[in-house]
Structure 1
Amino acid sequence: MNTMATIKPPSPNFSPLKQSIPSLTQPWISCKLPIATDSIAAAFVSSNSNRERGHAAVSVAFNPSGNYELSLFDDDEENAQKCPPPLPPTEGRFEVVIDNDIILRLDLTPFHTATGIASPLSVEPKEFLERTIGFTINYTKEDPNDPRELSEYGEIRLWFVRLDAAYPWLPVLLDWRAGELARYAAMLVPHQMSLKMGVVFNPEALELFVMNKVFIVYNWLKQQNVPKPRLRASDMARMLGFGIGDELFDLIDKHPFPPS
């Protein structure tokens, strides 16, 4: 069985509680994502490791050409700052615009209007996979001096929780290169904000989120007859710092749900 990622013992300065992502105030992509491997997905990330299971830092950079470049234990801040600058929104993407009123009413109408998606059963994924979906959040703070980021406002997060409950496969359709996937994850996954590092995810919560989305997205893509569903689900996970191998998908296919 082949390993899905090269795992090394943790560096002395590595903190497994830090998931380094740029600030939510601007569009961004994932530049550095330390992850913990001593949890439910470990077998699918490092299945042939003979060492005791511990923490490993895997840095993930997205190359605009479409390739992923993996590096391990890059603690050099100067090198970390050389990650590609955030890419602009994909031209022609579906843009969902929400504001205070929409958020407070938990109104999903702007999503339906912008995308044309009337219900979870009425989606033709091909166009959305090509054009992608993004969000513009026009949120006016009651206190202009409130230092919180958008992902720290409970009412904004609750709107995204409702959206995700209605369309749990949505992450695979987002504008990944412009940072929409990581931004979406920040709305749904417990985290803290760091002036130095940006978003600091709870690693176990992030892992559970990623694995849940892999299960949902893979099954949905297969139901929609989308080519290469394994690759698309794996790429989605890798954008958040997780390598998923064929062993996991083999298990899913062997024990489908609902049973065939």
Structure 2
Amino acid sequence: MAATTKSLFPQSPPLKRAVHFTSPWVSCRPISDSLATLPVSLFTKPQREVAASVAFNPSGNFDDFPIFDDEDDSTKAPPPLPPTEGRFEVVINNDIIQRLDLSPFQSVTGITSPSSAKPKEFLERTIGFTINYTREDPYDPREFSEFPDIRTWFVRLDATYPWLPVLLDWRAGELARYAAMLVPHQMNMKMGVVFNPEALELFVMKKVFIVYSWLKEHDIPKPRLKTKDMARMLGFGIGDELYDLIDGKSPST
């Protein structure tokens, strides 16, 4: 298993986008409030209500993000937000991960197949994950998102339920952590997860297409707004022109 999964996640090229997680999954510090947008005309600058702090490094030099940084206590991260009360809690462990077993997710949520999910209840309660993973080496410093076998489990989960990001417990950082399982990144002691920018853009775009269509299919009110909010959580603003194209309308001029 290990030999197979390691090849799926090669080392990333120079990175320049970082997302701050307010959760024990990733040790990180707060970073810039500035938000970057995708460099195409269909995207707009996100509003300040975005919950995840996102920083953008225009130079694109990975040297700008050293693994260790000296900093004072004023830059320490605030306490993590607690999980949303009453959320669906999916607990996985080494055995479940090694067997690529999705049954814990299915039994907790009741979503036994992609077509069986009814968005309304999950949008209200949200979904979160508890990873009870025992490292072979207790001194292994890697975060969970750096273990190939854990990431492969989430890859399978995402392939089976591609609209899942919109149902996650965003306020507790579940969306950003989920993205870290699927998007190439490196770790930085000060900034936390530093994503490959092009990979993150593609991830967000793919999820926008999937989630927007899925919410519309289930007659969820204001599907554009909900999809925009999801993109904002990862630092991207999306204009109505894109949704007009998806709906088969001529973009407004």
For normalisation by structure 1, the TM-score amounts to 0.75
SS in 2 for 1:213: helix
Report Cα offsets for 1:207-244 as digits up to 9, x if no partner. 10001000000000000110000000000000000001
Structure 2 residue runs without a partner (length 5+): 1-13, 58-70
2:151 aligned with 1:157, yes or no? yes
Contact 2:91 2:132 in 1 (8 A): yes
Structure 1 residue runs without a partner (length 5+): 1-14, 48-57, 256-260
Structure 1 pair 207/217, CA: closer, same or farther in 2 (3 Å)?
A: same
1:236 partner letter: M
In structure 1, distance between residues paired with 2:209 and 2:80: 28
Please give the residue correspondences for 1:96-175 in structure 2 after superposition, counting only pairs within 5 Å.
96-175=90-169
Structure 1 pair 113/244, CA: closer, same or farther in 2 (3 Å)?
A: same
2:216 aligned with 1:222, yes or no? yes
Please give the residue correspondences for 1:1-12 in structure 2 after superposition, counting only pairs within 5 Å.
none
In structure 2, distance between residues paired with 1:82 and 1:195: 11
Matched with 1:88 is: 82
Size of the alignment, in residue pairs? 222
Report Cα offsets for 1:166-187 as digits up to 9, x if no partner. 0000000000000000000000
Shift of 1:86: 2.4
Contact 1:160 1:188 in 2 (8 A): yes
Report Cα offsets for 1:55-108 as digits up to 9, x if no partner. xxx896646xxxx999999xxx88x94876421000000000000000000000
1:19 partner letter: A
Please give the residue correspondences for 1:30-41 in structure 2 after superposition, counting only pairs within 5 Å.
32=32, 39=39
In structure 2, distance between residues paired with 1:146 and 1:106: 22
Matched with 1:21 is: 20
Contact 2:42 2:241 in 1 (8 A): yes
For normalisation by structure 2, the TM-score amounts to 0.77
1:18 partner letter: R
In structure 2, distance between residues paired with 1:35 and 1:204: 15
SS in 2 for 1:134: strand
In structure 2, distance between residues paired with 1:28 and 1:133: 22
Shift of 1:26: 3.8
Matched with 1:51 is: none
2:206 aligned with 1:212, yes or no? yes
In structure 1, distance between residues paired with 2:247 and 2:47: 29
Please, what is the CA RMSD of the aligned residues?
3.3
Please give the residue correspondences for 1:193-212 in structure 2 after superposition, counting only pairs within 5 Å.
193-212=187-206
In structure 1, distance between residues paired with 2:193 and 2:200: 12
SS in 1 for 2:41: helix
In structure 1, distance between residues paired with 2:55 and 2:130: 32
Contact 2:151 2:181 in 1 (8 A): yes
In structure 2, distance between residues paired with 1:225 and 1:202: 34
In structure 1, distance between residues paired with 2:168 and 2:221: 17
Matched with 2:67 is: none
Contact 1:60 1:70 in 2 (8 A): no
SS in 2 for 1:193: strand
Matched with 1:244 is: 238
1:21 partner letter: H
Report Cα offsets for 1:151-199 as digits up to 9, x if no partner. 0000000000000000000000000000000000000000000111110
In structure 2, distance between residues paired with 1:70 and 1:233: 18
Matched with 2:41 is: 43
1:43 partner letter: S
In structure 1, distance between residues paired with 2:44 and 2:210: 22
2:186 aligned with 1:188, yes or no? no
Contact 1:60 1:71 in 2 (8 A): no
In structure 2, distance between residues paired with 1:71 and 1:154: 26
1:150 partner letter: F
